[in-house]
Chains A and B, each alone.
Chain A
């Protein structure tokens, strides 16, 4: 079955370290998204991509970067982790731009920055 997977599921790191969260989907979806979820804030959009080599900033993109070199993967990088980036991160994908339809979410990656 097609799926979307995130790794690692849990990570603890130190302030200033570079961290990369992986997201891999096997649906061949063009659209991929990264969200973070914090208590009291709901889900907030970090970055998104509508296809290979396309990336766009979301609501809370500062301190994060993404790159899309193939259809299946959209890794999220924290260049220099900060305690404020302690959060649960969700990756999602959907079919092509212009088609109404559902977002498929991964199970989440819980990141703790000490």
Chain B
């Protein structure tokens, strides 16, 4: 599986968009980009995934660059409940996911 690089921490003001970057320069053609988040000590929660095209769901948007070497998860209107650790993972579909250390996002009032 391709490795990912994420900043260890980020801050965002409540109500503003949170843009979480991820670098995956060694991604191969059949690998997906997955995003999960973990709030406090709960089990991780799936957010979104994509292969080539940008994706949007009720939680977030995923922007993947044309060369697929990086992506950005966008939380359009961050709330205090979005404070969590966000994991960017690259893997073939259905395979076990290897979580890194993720980005700790703090949303402030």
Please report A residues at the B interface, Cβ cutoff 8 Å: 31, 33, 35, 40-45, 48, 50, 56, 58-59, 88, 90, 92, 94-108
Please report B residues at the A interface, Cβ cutoff 8 Å: 32, 36, 41-46, 49, 51, 87, 93-102
Number of A-B contacts (CB under 8 A): 63
A33–B94 Cα distance when bound, in Å, is 11
A99–B49 Cα distance when bound, in Å, is 12
| Majority secondary structure of chain B interface residues (helix, strand, loop or mixed) | loop
A97–B91 Cα distance when bound, in Å, is 12
A92 and B43: CB pair below 8 A?
A: yes
Answer whether A107 and B43 are a contact pair too, CB < 8 Å, given A42-B87, A42-B101: yes
**Chain A residues within an 8 Å CB radius of B43:** 90, 92, 105-108
Measured CB to CB, the nearest residue on chain A to B97 is A103
A58 and B96: CB pair below 8 A?
A: yes
**Chain B residues within an 8 Å CB radius of A40:** 101
A15–B51 Cα distance when bound, in Å, is 45
**Chain B residues within an 8 Å CB radius of A44:** 99
**Chain B residues within an 8 Å CB radius of A50:** 94
Complex partner residue of A33 from B36, B41, B49, B96, CB under 8 angstroms = B96
8 A-B contacts (beta carbon < 8 Å):
A33-B96, A45-B97, A45-B99, A88-B41, A94-B94, A98-B93, A100-B94, A101-B94
A90 and B44: CB pair below 8 A?
A: yes
